[in-house]
Structures are given as structure tokens and as C-alpha cells.
Chains A and B, each alone.
Chain A
Amino acid sequence: MLKLLLSRLATAIPSIVGVVVVTFMLTRLLPGDPAAYFAGLAATPQAIAEIRTKLGLDKSLPEQFGTYIVDLLHGNLGNSLSTGQPVVAEIASRLPASAELTLVALIVAVAIAIPLGVLAAVKQGTWIDHFCRVVTTAGVSLPVFFTGLLFAYVFYYVLQFAPAPTGRLDVFLSPPADITGFYLIDSALTGNVETLWGSLRQLALPALSMAIFSLAPLARMTRGSMLAVLGSDFIRTARASGLASRTVIFTYAFRNAMLPVITTLGMVFSFLLGANVLVETVFAWPGIGLYAVNALITSDYAPVQGFVLTMAVLYVALNLLIDIAYGLVDPRVRLES
């Protein structure tokens, strides 16, 4: 068990190394003078020279890399030009908003995709199978920012059902006590029903937009995996033993079919983390995605670098969790190590 954890951790280390190296290289690829970028558009030549020495951009590349590593280990991601604040603090304060949105979107996507995929496989050829096919093909073709806008238009403007797409909470409500940073959990914990409901309403459209986007690969994989398992030898044995249909489908087939689906989650997270940026832009959601987009527009480079690094590290951590989860669920992996 411990061996499993350690072996999986060991494979994550080269990924982290690669991520750190690439993010370092990205800053050195800036056209022109990197110091000018970090100093900002309105900087005087003197300010640029100051920044150059301050950030050690005049040193040799290996030295710069060393400084970079030391800075990272101290949690120093530089400062934002527009606010002057440390990037790491700004990212930390915005992370819960993005995390809440992404997690809720994932839960919704899984809650729809898996039953849909299972039904499509069990009732192959029926309308639900065709519906599943349409959903997966359409879901992959729809740009997530377009879906978001469409939802905002239909549900907010036309039907006046949803609140204005202006962030996590209506302006008249105040955020709940900061326990986890997740508005849903915090307002539930403090018994603040009004804020809970308000947060939920604001979450609905952005989470739904993201969910539809990530629905497609999950449903397709579930359907494919379920079909493959239903045709396998051990299901034939289960049927030949006269086991009840429900037992065959859920206890025998479904659990086996879920194994490849867990592996697919890695790819789904890659989509989700990318879609996060676009959805936050559409719905003015105050997460790290919107933070990075605003920084890009104002040519504020340090936040962008910090954002890419944070997202990448998060992604490596998520993949690690998925790997470990798979190892725990599949006894063949769990016991072999």
C-alpha cells in the first residue's frame, strides 16, 4: 500500500521538475528584454535597469534558474504590477473560487455522464443510445465560452431565471465566514441559508457550462467501457450462473467498467482547468483564471507566470490522486506492488 503511494509519488516528481523548467524557460523566451516586461509598459529605462538587477536578469542562465528555484521554495512568485501585491497571495485568495467552480462542474458532469453512458451501453440501439451519441458529439464541438454566453442569454436575459453573470454572489449579499473559502460549504456550515442559496444560483450557469463541455469524453468512455465489459467472458459466466440482471449490470459490469473511466478523469481535468479560464471570463467569476486574463490584458507578466505554474502543479497533483485512486480500486494494481 505504502509502496503504491511511493511509486506513484516517484512518477510525479519528473513531471514537477519538467513543469518548473518549462515555466522558467517561458520567461526567458519573452521577446525583447524580459526586464522591460516585468517593469511594465510605462517604465522608464532607469526603472527597467533597476528591475533587471532586482530580479537578477543580468546574471547567467544557470544562476537565474538557481534563484528561480530558491524563490519558488520560499513561495515567492514575484509581484503584480497593477496592484504591487505578491502574486502568491493574490493567487491563494482567488484559488477557492476557481476550485469551487471546477469541483461543482465535475460533480455535475459525472452525475450526468456516467448514468447516461451506462444506460446507452445497456440499452444499445435505443433512443437513449442515440441521444448519448448526439450529446457526446455536440459537447465536444461546442466552444465552452459560447455555451456560457448562450446560457447567460437564455436564462438570464430572456427567461430572467438566473441572476446576472457578475461573480460569485449578488451584490446585496455578503460572503460567508471564511472557513474553507468555498461559499457553498462555508454558508452551509454557518447555517446561512440566504447566502447558500445565493451562491448556488450564481454557480449554476458557469458550472453547467463547464459540465457540458466535460460531459462528452466521460459519457463516451463510460459507454465504450461498459459495452466492452458487457461482452467479456466473466459477464457470460455471471449470466450463465443465473445472477439477477441488476447484479450483473451493477455489481459485476459497472465496477469493472469504471476502471478506464477513472483514467479518463486525467484528460477531463485538463479540459476543465482550461475551460475554467474561459468560463470565469464570461461570468466575471473572481478566480485565478480571470486573474490571469486580466493580467494578460495589462501586460502584467508575473501573475501570468504564477498562474501557469500553479495550474500545472495542481494538475500534476490531481493526476497523482487519480493514479492513487485507481491503484486503490483495482486489486490487481493494489496487490501487485
Chain B
Amino acid sequence: MLPLLRHARYVLSKNPVTGLAFALFALFLVAALFGPLLAPYNPLQSNSAMALRPPSAAHWFGTDQLGRDIFSRVLVATRLDLSIAFASVVLAFLLGALSGVAAGYFGGWTDRVVGRLADTIMAFPLFVLAMGIVAALGNKVTNIVIATAIINFPLYARVARAEANVRREAGFVEAARLSGNGEARVVLGHVLPNIMPIMMVQMSLTMGYAILNAAGLSFIGLGVRPPDAEWGIMVAEGANFIQSGEWWIALFPGAALMLAVFCFNLLGDGLRDLIDPRKRT
């Protein structure tokens, strides 16, 4: 344990920005896990007497048009936003990594089918496709997850395919084959675990994009419905009040969005530098 911590401290000292990202990530994790417990007010509780109040000591982020405390809502929304994004990233990874590895390892028809599937998805502007999918499947949060996973699938498939291709003739794979493992076993038990670090980097990098995507969809009314607290619809609700000057309703959820995306982008960059510094831009 101790040498691990020492290594972690060394790495963080060389990359202070990554350290900052980790700290932010920890903050968001706490908010996601314990948000409802830490919130000073009930996020769903309306109080028309206190509607549209600017930030104050009692309400750090002010109140919205129904008198609900915005700070509590932003805090509690962390769980929903992060879980939607995380679920879609995991789903995209499962679909993409498995099919990508199969395509890169087996080649032939598998490669062609997976390639054609990925190309067809990429032929659409991604957000538009997500809109279409949610509209088709129904206006529910699960479908936001599915739609976001589908539009991220090509990226994972492509990376997994490239990595599997490289490793197809690698020593450890040969060894696994020679010790009598069936092809499926080789792929699942040896190739897939080996590409996990790179996949982790991809997942972190696309978390940010997944958060933006989910927020964008809820901003235009798809997925999360009021009165649920989610950053995207909170910004949408706040948009109505921008023209009359009540800036705090949209600003704080928007800032939370930005911070979360920023955090995951930095995290992904930092992880990538740790794992493969050659790919630094």
C-alpha cells in the first residue's frame, strides 16, 4: 500500500493539473454519493414565498421560480447526471470494446460488419442521432443512456479494434493460444484485459462528452422531466429568466456542468499521459 501511495505522490507532484482533476473528481464523487444527505434543503420542496431570490447566506445559490433551493438541487443533481453519463459510458464500452476486439482479432466478416455499423452511426451528426433515438424509443432516462451509448460506440470500437489488431500476434497471445485456450477465451481472458488501461483513458475522456450530451438532450426536453433535479433541465428552466435578469437559476447548474466536464477531460488527459505519454498533444 505504502509504495503505491508514494508512487501516487510522485506522479501528482509532476502533474499538478492531474492532481487538481483528481481532487475535483473526489468532490463530485462525494456529491454524487452523499448529495441528498448533505443538501441543506429538500430539493423538491417548493416555497412560493421565497421564489426568485438571489444568492444569500440562507440560500447560497439563490432560489428558483418555485422557491426551491438551487444549491440543494445542484448538489443532488450530481448523482443523476454522473450516473447517466457513467452508465452510458460503461454500456458504450461493453458494446464497443467487445465488438472492436472481435473485429480486430478475427478480422474478416466480423471486422466488416462492425466497421459498417460504426460507419453508419458516424454518418449522422451525433447529437442529432441521439435526438432521433430518444424520440423513437420514448422520452425516458434509460433511453438517454442507450442513445448516448450508441453514439459513443464507434469510438470505442475503433480504439479496441486497433489495439486488438496490434496484439493479435503478440507473444502473450500466442502463448495463450498454444496452451490450448479456445479463441473466445483468448479474446476475453487475455486480449481484453490487456487493453483495459487504454480503454480506461477512453472512458474518462468520453465521460465529459457523455455529460454534455445528456445535459443537451434534457435541455431540449428529452429524458429527465421536472421536477427532477438535473443540471440540463435546470439550465433550461433558468433560461426563461435570463432576459429578466435572474441569472443565478441558470448559472450555477451550468457552472456545475462545466466543472464536471472539465474535471473528466483533465482526468482523461492525465491518465493518458501516465499510460502512454507519446500520445500527448
Which residues of A line the B interface, CB within 8 A?
14-16, 18-19, 21-23, 26-27, 29-31, 137-138, 140-146, 149-150, 152-153, 156-157, 164-165, 220, 223-224, 269-275, 277-278, 281-282, 292-293, 296-297, 301, 304-305, 307-308, 311-312, 315-316, 319
Shortest Cβ distance from B222 into A: residue: A296
Is there a chain A Cβ closer than 8 Å to B179's Cβ?
no
Please indicate the chain A residues that have their CB under 8 angstroms from the CB of B138 in the complex.
Answer: 30-31
Shortest Cβ distance from A305 into B: residue: B132
Q: Are A157 and B261 in contact (CB under 8 A)?
A: no
Taken residue by residue from 105 to 149, chain B's Cβ proximity to chain A (1 for < 8 Å, 0 otherwise) reads as: 000000000001001100111111101110111100000000000
Q: Are A15 and B119 in contact (CB under 8 A)?
A: yes
Please indicate the chain B residues that have their CB under 8 angstroms from the CB of A146 in the complex.
Answer: 235, 250, 254, 257-258
Shortest Cβ distance from A310 into B: residue: B128
Secondary structure type dominating chain B contacts = helix
Q: Are A293 and B265 in contact (CB under 8 A)?
A: no
Is there a chain A Cβ closer than 8 Å to B192's Cβ?
no
Shortest Cβ distance from B257 into A: residue: A143
Is there a chain A Cβ closer than 8 Å to B100's Cβ?
no
Interchain nearest-CB distance for B119 vs A (Å): 7
| Cα–Cα distance between A278 and B213 once the two chains are bound (Å) | 11
Please indicate the chain A residues that have their CB under 8 angstroms from the CB of B251 in the complex.
Answer: 150
At the interface with chain A, which of B83-91, B161-169, B170-178, B239-247? B239-247
Q: Are A274 and B126 in contact (CB under 8 A)?
A: yes
Which 4 pairs from chain A and chain B are nearest by CB? A274-B127, A18-B120, A273-B125, A146-B254
Q: Are A145 and B126 in contact (CB under 8 A)?
A: no
Q: Are B242 and A312 in contact (CB under 8 A)?
A: no
Q: Which of B119, B126, B235, B281 contacts A18 (CB 8 A)?
A: B119
Q: Which of A149, A301, A315 contacts B135 (CB 8 A)?
A: A301
Shortest Cβ distance from A16 into B: residue: B123
Please indicate the chain B residues that have their CB under 8 angstroms from the CB of A270 in the complex.
Answer: 125-126
Q: Are A26 and B136 in contact (CB under 8 A)?
A: yes
Q: Are A19 and B135 in contact (CB under 8 A)?
A: no
Q: Are A22 and B120 in contact (CB under 8 A)?
A: yes
Please indicate the chain A residues that have their CB under 8 angstroms from the CB of B258 in the complex.
Answer: 141-143, 146
Q: Are A165 and B128 in contact (CB under 8 A)?
A: no
Please indicate the chain A residues that have their CB under 8 angstroms from the CB of B254 in the complex.
Answer: 143, 146, 149-150
Interface residues of B in 192-237 (CB under 8 A from A): 208, 212, 215-216, 219-222, 235-236
Is there a chain A Cβ closer than 8 Å to B262's Cβ?
yes
Q: Are B132 and A23 in contact (CB under 8 A)?
A: yes
15 additional A-B pairs beyond A149-B254, A269-B125, beta carbons within 8 Å, are A15-B123, A22-B120, A26-B135, A143-B215, A149-B250, A274-B125, A274-B126, A274-B127, A304-B131, A307-B128, A312-B125, A312-B129, A315-B123, A316-B123, A319-B123
Which of A19, A21, A146 counts the most chain B CB atoms within 10 A?
A146
Is there a chain A Cβ closer than 8 Å to B238's Cβ?
yes
| Cα–Cα distance between A23 and B133 once the two chains are bound (Å) | 9
Please indicate the chain A residues that have their CB under 8 angstroms from the CB of B124 in the complex.
Answer: 19, 22, 308, 311-312, 315
Q: Are A18 and B129 in contact (CB under 8 A)?
A: no
Shortest Cβ distance from B132 into A: residue: A308
Q: Are A26 and B250 in contact (CB under 8 A)?
A: no
Q: What are 26 A-B pairs at a CB distance below 8 A? A: A15-B123, A18-B119, A19-B124, A29-B137, A30-B137, A137-B266, A141-B265, A145-B219, A145-B239, A149-B235, A153-B247, A157-B247, A164-B243, A165-B243, A271-B125, A273-B128, A274-B126, A277-B220, A278-B216, A278-B219, A278-B220, A293-B220, A296-B131, A304-B131, A304-B135, A312-B124
| Cα–Cα distance between A19 and B126 once the two chains are bound (Å) | 12
| Cα–Cα distance between A138 and B265 once the two chains are bound (Å) | 10
User: How many residues on chain B are close to A (CB under 8 Å)?
Assistant: 43
Shortest Cβ distance from A311 into B: residue: B128
| Cα–Cα distance between A273 and B216 once the two chains are bound (Å) | 13
Please indicate the chain B residues that have their CB under 8 angstroms from the CB of A27 in the complex.
Answer: 136
Shortest Cβ distance from A148 into B: residue: B239
Shortest Cβ distance from B221 into A: residue: A297
Shortest Cβ distance from A315 into B: residue: B125
Interchain nearest-CB distance for B72 vs A (Å): 20
Q: Are B235 and A26 in contact (CB under 8 A)?
A: no
| Cα–Cα distance between A83 and B126 once the two chains are bound (Å) | 28
Q: Are A308 and B131 in contact (CB under 8 A)?
A: yes
Please indicate the chain B residues that have their CB under 8 angstroms from the CB of A150 in the complex.
Answer: 251, 254
Given A15-B119, A312-B128, A143 and B261 contact (CB-CB distance below 8 Å): yes
| Cα–Cα distance between A316 and B129 once the two chains are bound (Å) | 13
Please indicate the chain A residues that have their CB under 8 angstroms from the CB of B221 in the complex.
Answer: 293, 296-297
Given A224-B281, A304-B135, A281 and B262 contact (CB-CB distance below 8 Å): no
Interchain nearest-CB distance for A19 vs B (Å): 5
Interchain nearest-CB distance for A138 vs B (Å): 7
Q: Are A137 and B262 in contact (CB under 8 A)?
A: yes
| Cα–Cα distance between A152 and B215 once the two chains are bound (Å) | 19
Interchain nearest-CB distance for B148 vs A (Å): 12
Q: Are B243 and A274 in contact (CB under 8 A)?
A: no
| Cα–Cα distance between A153 and B129 once the two chains are bound (Å) | 30
Q: Are A311 and B125 in contact (CB under 8 A)?
A: yes
Shortest Cβ distance from B245 into A: residue: A157
Shortest Cβ distance from A165 into B: residue: B243
Please indicate the chain B residues that have their CB under 8 angstroms from the CB of A307 in the complex.
Answer: 128
Shortest Cβ distance from B263 into A: residue: A141
Q: Which of A156, A301, A312 contacts B243 (CB 8 A)?
A: A156
| Cα–Cα distance between A278 and B265 once the two chains are bound (Å) | 22
| Cα–Cα distance between A31 and B220 once the two chains are bound (Å) | 20
Q: Which of A156, A164, A223, A304 contacts B132 (CB 8 A)?
A: A304
Please indicate the chain A residues that have their CB under 8 angstroms from the CB of B116 in the complex.
Answer: 14, 18
| Cα–Cα distance between A16 and B220 once the two chains are bound (Å) | 27
